[in-house]
Amino acid sequence: MKQEIITFLTAAAPILEVRGAIPLAMGVFQFSPLKAYTISVLGNIFLIMPFLFVLQRFSEYLMHKWYHYNRLMTWVLERAQRKHMDHFHEKKWVEVALFLFVAVPLPMTGAWSGAVAAYILGVPFWRAIGVIFAGILAAGGIVTALVSLGFMATKSIF
């Protein structure tokens, strides 16, 4: 049970997420691909909804209570939306871009960064949660497939 908890917590960590948890689970703990995928995806999903909720609510609270924070965040959000929304044709492609950002298992992408991007780009909470969850499922599948292929390749070489 300790190994499952370590895998779950590794997947919940902001930098490692499923990119670190699945190779750990399959390579070190010798989990099956299905078990590694399931625990890692659940661990990655576990904190994203509360994080996005708190991010939105806490930022709104600070914007109402602190004038300088309000000016800074208004400038940041307006600038980011003005700079990036023309790439998405007025929010038509924001969800697709967010999904790909979360799903592609590269450094500095993933659910945590996707939650921040969803907040900055103004994606509504429930839509952002659905897109981020779908991205986590896809990223878990990609990482599981790559790790499985890596293990098969090393077994055939040696």
Mean pLDDT value of segment 135-145 = 97
- Alpha carbon 150 to its chain's center: 23
Are the CB atoms for 37 and 140 separated by under 8 Å?
Answer: yes
Domain assignment of residue 25, yes or no: no
Please report, rounded to a whole number, the percentage of residues in the chain having pLDDT higher than 70: 94
Choose between 133 and 61: higher pLDDT.
133
**What's the burial of 20, exposed, middle or buried (CB within 10 Å: 0-12/13-18/19+)?**
middle
Are the CB atoms for 138 and 103 separated by under 8 Å?
Answer: yes
Domain assignment of residue 147, yes or no: yes
Domain assignment of residue 17, yes or no: no
pLDDT digits (tens, 9 = 90+) for 40-94: 999 999 999 999 999 988 888 888 888 888 888 888 888 877 776 666 656 668 8
Domain assignment of residue 27, yes or no: no
Quote the domain boundaries for residue 65.
46-157
Domains of the chain: total: 1
Domain assignment of residue 26, yes or no: no
Domain assignment of residue 20, yes or no: no
Mean pLDDT value of segment 138-143 = 97
Report residue 39's pLDDT band, with 50, 70 and 90 as the boundaries.
very high
Question: pLDDT value at position 21?
Answer: 97
Domain assignment of residue 7, yes or no: no
Domain assignment of residue 69, yes or no: yes
Say yes or no to pLDDT of 6 above 70: yes
Whole-number Å distance between alpha carbons of 140 and 135: 8
pLDDT digits (tens, 9 = 90+) for 110-131: 999 999 999 888 889 999 999 9
